[in-house]
Structure 1
Amino acid sequence: MSKVLILSDSHGLMEEVSAIKERHQIKSMIHCGDSELDLDAQELEGFYKVAGNCDFDTRYPDEQTIKLDGITFYITHGHLHNVKLNLMGLSYRAEEEQAQVICFGHTHIAGAEQVDKQLFINPGSIRQPRNRTEKTYAIMEWDTPASITVKFYTVTGERVDDLTYNASL
């Protein structure tokens, strides 16, 4: 089973990011921006990282496209694609990158949703969640692109079952 840990909008938290990494021991990790840490901060070691609107280290890329175990991921923070309005710009950019899974943050609203052959994942925020009280991150698991599960967890590691999402790309 393949897994990827997805975080966003940690806004300066260091101990919590380290604890999440330690808790799950997942090889592939994504941070969707607004860590407010330096690109080479120890807490972010091993993460695929992008710049958020609150990240001031200019070495962060605005976006990354990566391939993990047969699935192409497009990673961005979302502020450059106006994700607070809708996901259309994000969808078009991911299509240009031939990505099936889009990981983003910025809204601090946790959730996963499949639209056609694209799976959008926003892990929420482990510091300042919106629309829910739980401070969240996500883990996507898959055996094949036809069998994907996205599970959400609180910053302390408890499952948030009502956010679990199953997809088939």
Structure 2
Amino acid sequence: MRYLVVSDNHGDREILVKLLDKYHANVDYFFHCGDSELRADDELFDVYQVVGGNCDYNPAFPEKQLFEMGASGDKVLLIHGHTKGVGYGMTDLQLAAKEEGANLVFFGHTHQLGCVYHDQTLFLNPGSISFPRGEFASFDGTYAVVESDEKQLIVQYYQRDFEPISKLRFVYSR
């Protein structure tokens, strides 16, 4: 299974369209971790699985979603992260993952990319596609593609211009 994970585009609809055009034939699922600032009835959300963020003032977006990905056995928790205090630490998010039985957790909010594989669970923040912060703020924006099979997880981060970031490729054995 291949998952594209993006977050925090803050109204930049065009980049979501470009990602969809580029990856539609090569990705099984598109996940958006919130703060799209788009309308909930936008046709992009017919393809992107989405949650609401602290800047999405639309109650039609769910706070979190859980997906069971049959073929791979993955259980994905999609959440923005602001309600779990991800700006202050990962404890509440880790507890939510355990409670839901998730082995993949995709979240946003901080605009800082990062991934950690802990206790057989991948916690991944794709960073912000439009307004990156932190160590990798020099990039125009970032997103991630996760490849999952029964033996391993491969995470590759990309810049907004679709170029892979070579030092941001991670392989985790299951």
TM-score (norm 2): 0.92
CA contact (8 A) 1:111 1:163 kept: no
Q: Secondary structure of the residue that 1:86 maps to in structure 2?
A: coil
Q: Are residues 1:97 and 2:100 paired?
A: yes
Q: How many residues align?
A: 167
Deviation at 1:108? 0.6
Q: What is the match of residue 125 of structure 1?
A: 128
Q: Deviations over 1:94-121 (max 9, x none)?
A: 1110001110000111121111211100
Deviation at 1:168? 2.6
CA contact (8 A) 1:139 1:150 kept: yes
Q: What is the match of residue 20 of structure 2?
A: 21
The AA in structure 2 aligned to 1:12 is G
Of 139, 142, 146 in structure 1, the residue corresponding to residue 148 of structure 2 is 142
Structure 1: runs of 5 or more not aligned: none
Structure 2: runs of 5 or more not aligned: none
Q: What is the match of residue 73 of structure 1?
A: 76
Identity of aligned residues (%): 34
Matches within 5 A, 1:7-46: 7-25=6-24, 26-46=27-47
Runs of 4+ with >6 A deviation: none
Distance 1:85 1:35 in 2: 22
The AA in structure 1 aligned to 2:100 is E
Deviation at 1:67? 1.4
User: What is the Cα-based RMSD across aligned positions, in Å?
Assistant: 1.1
TM-score (norm 1): 0.95
Distance 1:120 1:161 in 2: 20
Distance 2:149 2:101 in 1: 20
Deviation at 1:167? 1.5
